[in-house]
Amino acid sequence: MTARPRIAVHKFSSCDGCQLAFLNAGEDLLTLDRLVDMVHFAEAGPVDEAAQVDIAFVEGSISTQADAERIRRVRERSGFLVTLGACATAGGLQALRNLADGAGWLAGVYAQPEYIDSLATATPIREHVRVDFELWGCPVNARQVLATVRALLFGVRPVADHQKVCMECKRRQAVCVLVTGRRPCLGPVTSSGCGALCPRFGRDCYGCFGPSESPNTDALGRRFEGLGLTPESIARRFLFINSHAEAFAEAGHKWMGKHDEKA
């Protein structure tokens, strides 16, 4: 790495919420500017998409042909590529379009398709190019983002943490909303990273940080059934922010199948 590492932040299909980890960083944003050379970050000002960089942060999922080509170019020019959040890492909420029954409704949506370059799917960066490190979360946890930057500046490989939200609840002594509140909480199968925010607000986790290590989605789905949820609403729990993440997609489809059997 050169003396001042060159950094880029690229945006694909997203809400821009993960980039805010930088734009909301306050004083840290000014410090970062002294430590690195921010060569491409359109929302903050600098634009040089073609520049060779040491670290590239990528927000958003791929949902057009043009973007599928752009991410390949980004990869070629980037030393270390980090995905920033659920969209880039697992497709994000817009990956729900991948569940639609084929081209059916998409064809309808694009009544004037000549205007719009769009694929039938919204897919994570990993399905297009090699990714060096993935940050989950919708949005990413700003502290994790800055810690990742810091680690990389020191030439250290950042570490991922996929402990369950449940662990975080225990640490923070939050009352279990599943046991006590009988709410369909995804905490037992979701990575922490939010600080067990939803349980601490007395509500069920909805899976922002994606599947945890060894997620027992089967047992949890049955637990939800025991709470009186229909197969369809159990499927909806898994198919939300991270519907394209493997463990959640699998569980979601399974319950969707049970729903179809009944229907």
Partner 1 sequence: MTKKREVRIRVPLLTRVEGEGALDIAIRAGRIEQLHLRIFEPPRLFEKFLQGRGYQEVPDMVARICGICPVAYQMSAVQALERVFDVDPGDHIRAWRRLFYCGEWMQSHSLHIHLLAAPDFLGFDSVTAMAKRYPDEVRRGLRLQALGNDIIRLLGGRSVHPVGACAGGFHRLPAPDESCELLARLQAARDDAEALLAWTARLPLPDDDQDFVSVALRHPHEYPMNGGRLVSSAGLDIAIEDYPQHFTEFQVPWSTALHAGLHGEPYLVGPLARLNLNLDRLPRPVRQALDATGIDFPSRNLFHSIVARAAEILLALHDAIAILEQPPAHAPAAAAVSPRAGTGFGCTEAPRGILWHRYEVDAAGLIVEADIVPPTSQNQARIEQDLRQSLQHFGLDHDEQALRRRAETVIRNYDPCISCATHFLRLAVERR
Closest distance of CB 175 from ligand SF4, Å? 27
| Member of 59, 134, 168, 204 binding ligand SF4 (CB under 6 A) | 59
Buried b (16+ CB within 10 A) or exposed e, 207-243: bbbbbbeebebeebbebbbeeebebeebbbbbbbbbb
Q: Which is nearer to partner 1, 213 or 260 (by Cβ)?
A: 260
Q: Using the rule CB under 8 A, is 38 a contact of partner 1?
A: yes
Contacts of partner 1 in 182-201 (CB under 8 A): 194, 197-198, 200-201
Q: Which is nearer to ligand SF4, 125 or 178 (by Cβ)?
A: 125
CA–CA dist 34, 18 (Å, integer): 22
Contacts of partner 1 in 86-115 (CB under 8 A): 92-94, 96-97, 100, 105, 107-112, 114-115
- Sign of the C-alpha dihedral, residues 24, 2, 12, 151? negative
Q: Using the rule CB under 6 A, is 85 a contact of ligand SF4?
A: yes
User: Taking every pair of C-alpha atoms in the chain, what is the biggest distance, in angstroms?
Assistant: 63
CA–CA dist 222, 184 (Å, integer): 11
CA–CA dist 257, 30 (Å, integer): 51
Residue reference for tokens 């410090």: 31
Q: How many CA atoms lie within 13 A of 64 on its CB side?
A: 13
Binding site for ligand SF4 (CB under 6 A): 14-15, 17-18, 59, 85-87, 92-93, 138-139
Binding site for partner 1 (CB under 8 A): 11, 13-20, 23-24, 26-27, 29-30, 33, 38, 42-47, 49, 63-64, 66-67, 92-94, 96-97, 100, 105, 107-112, 114-118, 122, 138-139, 194, 197-198, 200-203, 206, 208, 233, 236, 240-241
